[in-house]
Amino acid sequence: MDGSHDYSFRNRDFTAVPPLSPTPNACGDRGVLIGEEWEIAAPRTDSRLFRYFTEDLRRFLEDAFGVSLRIRRVPDAPSYARTRRKCILLAREEDMPDCPVGSDEAGAYRIIVTESGVAVIGKTERGTAKGVYDLEDGMRLRGECSLLPGDWTRAPLFYPRMTHSGTELDTFPDSYLAACAHAGMDAVIVFAGHPDSNLHGFEDPDALWPGSGRGYCDFANLVWRAAGYGLDVYVYSDMICDVHPEDPEAEAYYDASFGALFRRCPGIRGLILVGESFEFPSHDPHTSGIRCQLRPAGETRVSPGWYPCEDYPQMVDLVKRTVRRYSPEADIVFWTYNWGWAEKEARLSLIEHLPRDISLLVTFDMWETFTGENGKPYRIDDYSISFPGPSRVFVDEAEKAKEAGIRLYAMSNTGGRTWDSGAAPYLPVPFQWQKRYEALRSAHDRYGLCGLMENHHYGWLPSFLSLFAKNAFTSGGIPDGDMLWQIARRDYGGGAESAMAAWEQFSRGIARVIAANVDQYGPYRCGPTYPLLFGQTAGELEIPSVPWAWHKGGGIWNPVYPDPVFPDYESTLLRFARVREVRSRFGEGLRLLEEAGRDAPLKEEIRRQAAVARFLYCTYVTTEHVIGWTMASRLLLAVGEGSLPEGSDAVLEALGLPDASPGSLAGYMRRTAEEETENVLDALECWRVDSSIGFEASMEYAFDAAAAKWKNRETERSLERLERYLTEHGF
């Protein structure tokens, strides 16, 4: 396994439940016990969704508790249930007009639990499905085949909750669709660069983005399969748009791309358009008027995709009209991700002139500026949970959307993953996520925020955070803190308090991360794969990769660390101090998590949770080593050139070195290389426990056995170059 990728995480049934035994959450005889004398009643129907969740409930009870219930599929399930005791009825509101759900949300449901029976009544079939999963979640938390008596109604706060695939780019096996539905997701997102294909496949010379692939995608089949799990399908456009909407040929040109896609598959729920992948030859004088891939050398103006162009409303309107000729209800989603840097007036003017019958997607956390301990500003450059949000940019654009009457969505990253780590399947920082949940609920109430894009191409994978988020985004759910405690008790049993303390340390640590491009597109993106270099160029580096990856071999991270250190050494020192603090917090959290897991009931799950946390710790160790190595090597090169730059004393103090002698600096670099080599091996053990570690759908494996071997060999090369440099300079 050391020389290859693994992928075994894809073989898990993410909705499977191990045999459960009572946990400290169980309430004993206060619950309504479900036993073999019970049965499940459901309408006789051809609905694939209804048949799926009915069978799912039966399988859950059998797998988790060994309780095998008969399914009764009858023409009139409510009437049948009234004649039976010990029956779990699954129905829709229209089947039971005497039991209204009490919410207008399509995903709402009502659950009634008595000693004689249980009823799950959905506003629609999708609502009934959500109610069934709620029953299952409750019994998993209790570790007992019982339900608390009561009558409650719940409804999703956000629709849609959209996710890209986390198992493989643009690939959605049925098992993954089922996991999405259980986690409360409503829609999946697939890329499209042509009317018949997605980005997963062989390299496409005609693609918008060089290096991206093209594989045939049966969009209609995906829509059909997703509907069987209660999910919609959104398409994320990578269509080439090289004609201005005022051009006489524009209507025909865009009908051949966007129109053809929806003509062939009108069941696609929506279309996502974002500046960098929706560039067109804008007439706005602030821009070059040509997409970034074609912009000539020497052009200093930004490409249209990175500015709120005054003619974007025309472009959006044209695409909207084109799509809705074939799918009148299609949701056109316009995302403002790329120009949060631009002047507020231009951004809000764009929103003011957009069509009112579309959805505006605004990133929740980006472009926010803070003041560091050194008194200088720093910014969130890309997605990060270090700042829960909302950013000032989000607030400004959300207020404008509300004023304009435009439906508002947020890019929220609440699938549990951000660019704070591109190679971890999720970030186990629930107290920080809770702050984001609270902020999103506040935006729901204040601005009418109604939909979420929960991740980008890195996708989503199930974790203990999935239920935490689903509960937070459901009206009538239990308080966040109570839910987290119940999850800790479910997973860690008597070690729940230590698990909570560990999560608190991880959460406090992530809050100190500085989400700067130099690290987010560096060691944070690929984890311990990131190399320690001494003079190597990017062209010399043969980073392990597979040919079918969209972002091959470091294609979405900078393998040569771009921080020059001087003259802006204070920024480097701030990031160095911060990542040391983050490492310390994660180290303490790991100690607590290992303590929590000693007597945990679900050993395999706990081993995987510990591996993810340790891998993140290893990532912060790598980042500390990369920054320290870079500072030492920059000083060594300065010594070789005969002069030390301003700030050298502060850098030496941070490195714990007495002076800038070549021996002192080289000694630091050798120790760092040795420690980093061991760190890579520690990270490799994490990957062996859980092969989802290191995987990101568009990069494939950013860290694995092959990457670890390459990284440590590159470290050896750097040390060899260091020794040659010392010899050549007579040090």
- How many domains are there within the chain? 3
Q: Map tokens 């909750």 to a residue.
A: 161
CA distances from 666 to 102, 650, 670, 714 (A): 70, 18, 6, 17
Q: Are residues 204 and 144 in the same domain?
A: no
Q: Are residues 719 and 616 in the same domain?
A: yes
Picking from 703, 340, 343, 727, the residue whose alpha carbon sits closest to that of residue 526 is 703
Does 117 map to a domain?
Answer: yes
Does 498 map to a domain?
Answer: no
- What was the pLDDT predicted at 28? 64
Does 108 map to a domain?
Answer: yes
Last residue of one domain, picked from the residues 422, 447, 482: 482
Last residue of one domain, picked from the residues 154, 169, 201: 154
**Residue 717 in tokens:** 């090369």
- What was the pLDDT predicted at 24? 77
Q: Are residues 588 and 713 in the same domain?
A: yes
Q: Are residues 170 and 303 in the same domain?
A: yes
Query: Which amino acid makes up residue 614?
Result: R
Sign of the alpha-carbon dihedral angle for 368, 372, 378, 384: negative
Q: Are residues 148 and 165 in the same domain?
A: no
The pTM score is: 0.95
Angle subtended by helix axes 430-447 and 480-492, to nearest 10: 150
Does 560 map to a domain?
Answer: yes
10-residue stretch averages of pLDDT, the chain, 731 residues long: 73 88 73 94 95 97 96 90 91 92 94 95 97 96 92 97 96 96 97 86 77 81 97 97 97 97 97 97 96 90 96 98 98 97 97 98 96 94 96 98 98 96 97 98 98 96 97 96 96 95 98 96 97 95 91 90 96 98 98 92 91 98 98 96 94 96 97 98 97 95 96 98 95 89
CA gyration radius, the chain: 27
- Distance, in Å, from the CA atom of 366 to the CA atom of 363, rounded to the nearest integer, reads 6
Q: Are residues 465 and 610 in the same domain?
A: no
Q: Are residues 172 and 146 in the same domain?
A: no
Q: Are residues 692 and 610 in the same domain?
A: yes
Task: Mention every residue, 6+ apart, whose C-beta is less than 8 A from residue 244.
Answer: 250, 280, 281, 282, 283, 311, 315
Cβ 178 vs Cβ 229: under 8 Å: yes
- What was the pLDDT predicted at 4? 58
Q: Are residues 394 and 535 in the same domain?
A: no
Residues spanned by the domain of 103: 8-154
- What was the pLDDT predicted at 3? 46
Cβ 484 vs Cβ 500: under 8 Å: yes
Does 500 map to a domain?
Answer: no
Last residue of one domain, picked from the residues 117, 134, 154: 154
Does 212 map to a domain?
Answer: yes
Q: Are residues 134 and 256 in the same domain?
A: no
376-404 b/e (C-beta count within 10 Å ≥ 16 → b): eebbbbbbbbbbbbbbebbbbbbebbeee
- Distance, in Å, from the CA atom of 453 to the CA atom of 433, rounded to the nearest integer, reads 15
- What was the pLDDT predicted at 529? 98
Q: Are residues 169 and 139 in the same domain?
A: no
Q: Are residues 293 and 165 in the same domain?
A: yes
Does 501 map to a domain?
Answer: no
- What was the pLDDT predicted at 271? 98
Rounded to 5 degrees, what angle do the CA atoms 65, 67, 71 make? Answer: 135
The domain that holds 445 is classified in CATH as 3.20.20
Does 522 map to a domain?
Answer: yes
- What was the pLDDT predicted at 1? 37
The domain that holds 99 is classified in CATH as 3.30.379.10
Cβ 561 vs Cβ 630: under 8 Å: yes
Cβ 481 vs Cβ 14: under 8 Å: no
Picking from 289, 287, 270, the residue whose alpha carbon sits closest to that of residue 358 is 270
